[in-house]
Structure 1
Amino acid sequence: MPRCDRVSELPEPLLTKILSYLPTKHSVKTSVLSTRWKNLWLSVPSLDLNCDDFPYREDEVVLSFFDRLLEFNPDLRLLKVKVKCGNFEIEGLKDRISTVIHRGPQNLDVKGCIYYIDRDTKTYPFIEYMPLNLYTSKTLVSLKLTYSGVEDPGLVYMPCLKSMILVKALFRDDASLERLVSGCPVLEELTLVRDMHSNFEGKVDSFIMRVRSGSLKRFRVPLWYGEYCSSLFVKYTLEIDAPRLERMTLGEDQFDSIVVKNLDSLFMADLNIKFADKFDPEDFSKRNEIRYFLSGITNVRHMIISEKTVKVIELYSNVGLIPKFINLSRLEAMFPCDSLHFLPAFLECCPNLKHLILEIFYPVETEDVYQLANVPGCFLSTLECVQLKRIHVWGEQEMEVATYFLENAAVMKKLTLSLTNYPRYVSDEEIFEEVNRVAKRSPTCQILPDWELCE
């Protein structure tokens, strides 16, 4: 049979739909295929553009490209827009982005430039503030801003926005973020990454990043790999007031203090914070901050805590009372080996715990064996499933931990050992034989490998 171009026979709406999944630079290349394809890319309802992809990075070429795209089909609605502005300012690009926003996109992702070059070819830091019509968009459902300026225009109302990601955004003042979030009445998901150098314009002693929302369900401050140079002179406070919040992730020490309010609906909290560079028990202000924070999350049902969070809670427990997590049924925790003695006391604060996933961090040079004493109340009534996670070696301490649970957990159904492929002197079979010889307090408890995890 003669060769046939079946793709070109597809209807135009389907072809533009296919092209919408490609970066714009690739969809433009299809214009050389045939006459029919020449202008097809101009009707694609999405834009995914990296300004650094243009030859020699000439500003006029970038602007001309935008103008051609926007003028070819003035009625075209760009539903999904992603623009990476590059490292250096393109004067006039902000006006084109404003026109794009006017076209009513549902998804907008803008990575701003961070430098400009003056007439003497010297490079200076630069912040490109977003067009004002962004703050009254009636179509946006998701918004991501990276290295972009955010200001308080006086009126913020984005009635359809459900997801917002702000990565190292710069704010004119500490009311800008609050006004932005408050102006999104159906916002459900917010991700916030602080610029560790500065997050504001001007010189201030303190800066509050206030997240106050009646609709927010998921809030994340993710672990961010990169620079860790925090300002020595400006104190950053994160304040979260969200009565419908269900999931909260605080994954990095980006703030000097954290305040939580009205977290009555909190289901899951993932904590990888230490509250301070070094916790001083004599610092009453910091002690109160930790106390109010822990009291503010007592409704949580599923909690994940890192070793540094465990450490600071242990230090706090020496000077303050840890509240009871009455609703907590699932706990995932990494305990430093020198904090193992604190494990029973912490579990005592979880009277209804059912599932425990425990990872113990052993420094290479550690040879001490830490004894586990006392039996928390949950061992006698609710604790059903324990997983000892990421076991690299098997020695006295590992056996001590497994024995502690087997001899004391009265209603435990499963003890799962997650053994890694790390070279060990003891085989998997020998480990399970040794553990199975322990006298179990719960006669129905099973000792299982990690492929039969807790339900």
Structure 2
Amino acid sequence: MPRCDRISELPEPLLTKILSYLPTKHSVKTSVLSTRWKNLWLSVPSLDLNCDDFPYREDEVVLSFFDRLLEFNPDLRLLKLKVKCGNFEIEGLKDRISTVIHRGPQHLDVNGCINYIDRDTQTYPFIEYMPLNLYTSKTLVSLKLTYSGVEDPGLVYVPCLKSMTLVKAHFRDDASLERLVSGCPVLEELTLVRDMHSNFEGKVDSFMRVRSGSLKRFRVPLWYGEYCSSLFVKYTLEIDAPRLERLTLGEDQFDSIAVKSLDSLFMVDLNIKFDPEDFSKRNEIRYFLSGITNVRHMIISEKTVKVLELYSNVGMIPKFINLSRLEAMFPCDSLHFLPAFLECCPNLKHLILEIFYPTETEDVYQLANVPGCFLSTLECVQLKRIHVWGEQEMEVATYFLENAAVLKKLTLSLTNYPRYVSDEEIFEEVNRVAKRSPTCQILPDWDLCE
């Protein structure tokens, strides 16, 4: 008895919807299944293409593939286009991408080429600037550009764009980013990865301004790739976004950061460094810290803690009145700064603390002063990724237990790293400490053990 092919019995719109979740190279392979499937992939409303997947990567083959797709159904609207152009320029591919944009996609992801080969087979760095009709698309909802050129066409208006990611994009001038962002009136999420290894003289951006009345999430992450350290090309970043709720600054090559009107800021994640000993930078540090004082959730790396510690010696850290949750990695030699920083967080409720040991040390740093939040608001403390247990770890745990008057939970996150004392012995030792808060529980948290 022949088996029934239930998948082929499905209606065509449902089949093309299923195929849209596959890379195009896989959906094309379904054309050999039967006569019905022969041209079905040509009606899929998405294109996910890696030009390096074509045999010998001949330009004419890539372009003819695009042409067949676009000509088979001139009325087909590609809702999603993802193209990885490969290392070398494909002359004419930009025109095909322009045609797709004209048909009204909602999602566009272009990974541009980075090299050009001349007739003598010499290779040169290359920037492929995006088609001009990108900047007036009325349908785009999300946009990701990698190694692509961005310029100011004179008019930028992308009325539906909500999410934009620019990875090592090349801007024609310092104003191109500002004009692009300002021309997206409903943009909510922006991720920016700067190219600090440009092969083009003068192409490393020195000034970037992000100005948006709709932006809610802005990320400048630390980029891990072929190179993990930058060429130390400093630049100025200016942020003017009154509705911004979440800010992540992971790259550390800022000459200065200026923030304006961040009244809605909820969370900030900082892995940045300045030089507080540079007299000219002290005011910029003060203005930046004052600009984020409304934040409610803060994450700071050991690098940023060091900056704050050095700055506290020459200036005054502002009060973070609304801050209720703090996640911080403190270098062990900066633990003496912890009480002073917590004094700037008068309404702190939840603290996640990880102690960073850059080198082996036998010194034990004392924690002396008691911040105001210990007496009124601090309810939960998590000591994260405890690899070893010694005097310093016990000193930190004791500091919170003996001084936090309203503490409800002290959570210890013990990793599987070999220790001379067992987990049971650690908890027994900590439980012998006289607790200022009689209701405080001392708990393990294996979920934090990474």
TM-score by length of 1: 0.95
Moved more, 283-292 or 339-348: 283-292
Alpha-carbon separation, structure 1, partners of 2:449 and 2:87: 48
The question of whether the paired residues in 2 share the 8 Å contact of 1:204 and 1:234 is answered with yes
1:229–1:362: structure 2 CA closer, same or farther, 3 Å change rule?
Answer: closer
Cα distance, 1:198 vs structure 2 = 3.8
Cα distance, 1:230 vs structure 2 = 7.7
Moved more, 318-327 or 444-453: 444-453
Q: How big is each residue's C-alpha offset from its partner over 1:250-278, in whole Å with a ceiling of 9 and x where there is no partner?
A: 112143221111111000000011xxxx8
The question of whether the paired residues in 2 share the 8 Å contact of 1:268 and 1:303 is answered with yes
Aligned residues: 450
1:101–1:203: structure 2 CA closer, same or farther, 3 Å change rule?
Answer: closer
Unaligned runs of 5+ in 2: none
1:279–1:250: structure 2 CA closer, same or farther, 3 Å change rule?
Answer: closer
Cα distance, 1:118 vs structure 2 = 0.3
Alpha-carbon separation, structure 2, partners of 1:254 and 1:364: 25
The question of whether the paired residues in 1 share the 8 Å contact of 2:105 and 2:140 is answered with yes
Residue 340 of structure 2: SS of its match in structure 1? Answer: helix
1:270–1:282: structure 2 CA closer, same or farther, 3 Å change rule?
Answer: closer
Alpha-carbon separation, structure 2, partners of 1:370 and 1:230: 32
Aligned twin of 1:327: 322
Alpha-carbon separation, structure 2, partners of 1:332 and 1:21: 38
Q: CA RMSD in A?
A: 2.1
Cα distance, 1:359 vs structure 2 = 0.3
The question of whether the paired residues in 2 share the 8 Å contact of 1:79 and 1:105 is answered with yes
The question of whether the paired residues in 2 share the 8 Å contact of 1:171 and 1:201 is answered with no
Alpha-carbon separation, structure 1, partners of 2:59 and 2:241: 43
Alpha-carbon separation, structure 1, partners of 2:196 and 2:25: 33
1:229–1:430: structure 2 CA closer, same or farther, 3 Å change rule?
Answer: closer
1:151–1:315: structure 2 CA closer, same or farther, 3 Å change rule?
Answer: same
1:113–1:145: structure 2 CA closer, same or farther, 3 Å change rule?
Answer: same
1:211–1:450: structure 2 CA closer, same or farther, 3 Å change rule?
Answer: same
Cα distance, 1:233 vs structure 2 = 8.9
Residue 165 of structure 2: SS of its match in structure 1? Answer: strand
Q: How big is each residue's C-alpha offset from its partner over 1:269-319, in whole Å with a ceiling of 9 and x where there is no partner?
A: 00011xxxx855442221111111111100000000000000011001000
Alpha-carbon separation, structure 1, partners of 2:341 and 2:366: 15
1:9–1:279: structure 2 CA closer, same or farther, 3 Å change rule?
Answer: closer
Q: How big is each residue's C-alpha offset from its partner over 1:383-431, in whole Å with a ceiling of 9 and x where there is no partner?
A: 0000000000100000000000000000000000000011111111110
Residue 8 of structure 1: SS of its match in structure 2? Answer: coil
Alpha-carbon separation, structure 2, partners of 1:123 and 1:206: 27
Aligned twin of 1:77: 77
Cα distance, 1:204 vs structure 2 = 8.7
The question of whether the paired residues in 2 share the 8 Å contact of 1:98 and 1:134 is answered with yes
Aligned twin of 1:17: 17
The question of whether the paired residues in 1 share the 8 Å contact of 2:413 and 2:449 is answered with no
Aligned twin of 1:242: 241
The question of whether the paired residues in 1 share the 8 Å contact of 2:166 and 2:193 is answered with yes
Cα distance, 1:23 vs structure 2 = 0.3
Cα distance, 1:216 vs structure 2 = 0.1
Alpha-carbon separation, structure 1, partners of 2:243 and 2:53: 43
Residue 36 of structure 2: SS of its match in structure 1? Answer: coil
Cα distance, 1:363 vs structure 2 = 3.1
Q: How big is each residue's C-alpha offset from its partner over 1:59-104, in whole Å with a ceiling of 9 and x where there is no partner?
A: 0000000000000000000001100001000000000000010110
Residue 285 of structure 1: SS of its match in structure 2? Answer: helix
The question of whether the paired residues in 1 share the 8 Å contact of 2:196 and 2:204 is answered with no
Alpha-carbon separation, structure 2, partners of 1:400 and 1:7: 65
The question of whether the paired residues in 1 share the 8 Å contact of 2:185 and 2:213 is answered with yes
Alpha-carbon separation, structure 2, partners of 1:334 and 1:238: 25
Residue 288 of structure 1: SS of its match in structure 2? Answer: helix
The question of whether the paired residues in 1 share the 8 Å contact of 2:113 and 2:127 is answered with yes
Aligned twin of 1:418: 413
The question of whether the paired residues in 2 share the 8 Å contact of 1:171 and 1:199 is answered with no
Residue 9 of structure 1: SS of its match in structure 2? Answer: coil
Alpha-carbon separation, structure 2, partners of 1:127 and 1:380: 59
The question of whether the paired residues in 2 share the 8 Å contact of 1:196 and 1:228 is answered with no
Tell me, yes or no, if structure 1 residue 89 matches structure 2 residue 84: no
Cα distance, 1:229 vs structure 2 = 8.2
The question of whether the paired residues in 1 share the 8 Å contact of 2:210 and 2:241 is answered with yes
Identical aligned pairs, as a percentage?
A: 96
TM-score by length of 2: 0.97
The question of whether the paired residues in 1 share the 8 Å contact of 2:174 and 2:205 is answered with no
Residue 4 of structure 2: SS of its match in structure 1? Answer: coil
1:201–1:83: structure 2 CA closer, same or farther, 3 Å change rule?
Answer: farther
The question of whether the paired residues in 1 share the 8 Å contact of 2:348 and 2:373 is answered with yes
1:77–1:161: structure 2 CA closer, same or farther, 3 Å change rule?
Answer: same
1:220–1:405: structure 2 CA closer, same or farther, 3 Å change rule?
Answer: same
Residue 256 of structure 1: SS of its match in structure 2? Answer: strand
1:217–1:35: structure 2 CA closer, same or farther, 3 Å change rule?
Answer: same
Alpha-carbon separation, structure 2, partners of 1:270 and 1:407: 30
Aligned twin of 1:120: 120
